């Protein structure tokens, strides 16, 4: 007996809430979905970007940032990234599940997206995908959608905007590494891309498209997939560094030993694509890499710079001096 549409919506909401607990559950949910639905390549992209989000959070309580940032500042930064990641999953995962139901029932169920508060932009794009099976277009559409989903409630929210995104601390963290997304291999290599001007939605969309090109490069994809399959996600930077040719000691903690589960609620839903024009031209544009995606040497140099700065601060700046 087939489920009714009301039952499907109820199950999707229940499953999404269960898996949207923290960065660990989100990362694993995206990857597990991709393994079952390899045509939906955005799910693997989301999982690998979510891994980066985990160690960005854990770095706040590692051996570097506590030397520079106060407890209050670090907590505010953690809550900001946690909220953004929660909101993306809250929006994106129901779409993935509804696609899964559609394939199992062998008919499109995307008219139900409106009952899950999904943008009209994505309602159209899922219908196009069902008909044309253009996975690159769907991936770009999902990137556009999710970056717009967080723009108003997170990036442009008065509190986050003044306390986080316009702060010296955030700009400092952008310089440190938060603006770079890394894809590791079990051979100890790192690939990825960075973005400047994180607050502009168009810049983040461009980053997502460049990351997709790197992640699914025919030569590199098997190595990234092997890493994701073999490496349990703990949120620690050491998940990546354990494969380096030169042994590195753990300097960032496990996420679940560091941060509590945060209870979130979506307050007011607004369809972003009804408020402003969706950049649909990006669905058809090719994407070019701005720089080499191989970042192993860059990463090691940046890590050494951070360690040196922490040591200088410890040795020469007044005790208790923080931003």
Residue 1 clears pLDDT 50, i.e. is over it: no
Helix (H) or strand (E) holding 77: helix 71-105
260, two tokens: 């509590």
List the domain range (segments joined by +) for residue 18.
Answer: 5-316
Mean pLDDT throughout 180-186? 96
Looking at every residue in the chain, the average pLDDT score rounds to 89
281 occurs within a structural domain: yes
136, two tokens: 């690159």
Domain count, the chain: 1
323 occurs within a structural domain: no
243 occurs within a structural domain: yes
CA–CA distance from 197 to each of 166, 189, 206, 252, 260 (Å)? 11, 26, 11, 26, 30
> What are the residues whose beta carbons fall under 8 Å from the beta carbon of 312, sequence distance 6 or more?
none
240 occurs within a structural domain: yes
**Euclidean distance between CA atoms 101 and 97, whole angstroms:** 6
**Euclidean distance between CA atoms 256 and 58, whole angstroms:** 9
Q: What is the pLDDT of residues 254-267, one digit of tens each?
A: 999 999 999 998 77
Q: What was the pLDDT predicted at 316?
A: 61
Residues recorded for the chain = 323
pLDDT band for 112, please (50, 70, 90 cuts).
very high
142 occurs within a structural domain: yes
321 occurs within a structural domain: no
322 occurs within a structural domain: no
CA–CA distance from 33 to each of 36, 87, 199 (Å)? 5, 18, 29
CA–CA distance from 223 to each of 25, 185, 209, 211 (Å)? 23, 5, 19, 15
């Amino acid at each position: 007996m087939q489920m009714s549409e009301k039952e499907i919506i109820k199950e999707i909401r229940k499953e999404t809430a269960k898996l949207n607990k923290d960065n660990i559950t989100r990362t694993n949910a995206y990857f597990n979905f991709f393994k079952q639905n390899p045509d939906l390549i955005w799910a693997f992209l989301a999982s690998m970007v979510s891994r980066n989000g985990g160690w960005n959070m854990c770095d706040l309580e590692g051996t570097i940032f506590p030397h520079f940032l106060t407890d209050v500042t670090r907590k505010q930064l953690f809550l900001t990234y946690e909220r953004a990641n929660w909101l993306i999953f809250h929006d994106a995962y129901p779409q993935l599940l509804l696609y899964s139901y559609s394939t199992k029932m062998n008919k499109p169920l995307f008219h139900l997206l409106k009952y899950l508060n999904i943008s009209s932009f994505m309602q159209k794009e899922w219908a196009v995908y069902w008909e044309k099976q253009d996975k690159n277009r769907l991936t770009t559409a999902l990137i556009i959608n999710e970056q717009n989903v967080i723009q108003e409630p997170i990036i442009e929210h008065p509190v986050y905007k003044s306390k986080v995104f316009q702060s010296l601390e955030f700009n400092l963290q952008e310089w440190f590494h938060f603006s770079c997304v890394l894809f590791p291999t079990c051979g100890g290599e790192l690939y990825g891309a960075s973005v400047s001007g994180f607050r502009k939605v168009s810049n983040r969309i461009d980053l997502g498209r460049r990351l997709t090109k790197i992640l699914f490069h025919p030569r590199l994809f098997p190595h990234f997939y092997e890493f994701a399959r073999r490496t349990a996600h703990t949120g620690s930077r050491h998940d990546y560094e354990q494969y380096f040719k030169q042994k590195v000691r753990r300097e960032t903690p496990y996420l679940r030993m560091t941060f509590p589960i945060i209870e979130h609620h979506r307050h007011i839903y607004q369809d972003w694509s009804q408020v402003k024009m969706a950049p649909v031209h990006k669905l058809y544009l090719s994407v070019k890499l701005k720089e080499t995606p191989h970042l192993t040497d860059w990463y090691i140099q940046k890590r050494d710079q951070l360690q040196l700065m922490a040591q200088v601060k410890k040795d020469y700046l007044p005790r208790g001096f923080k931003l």
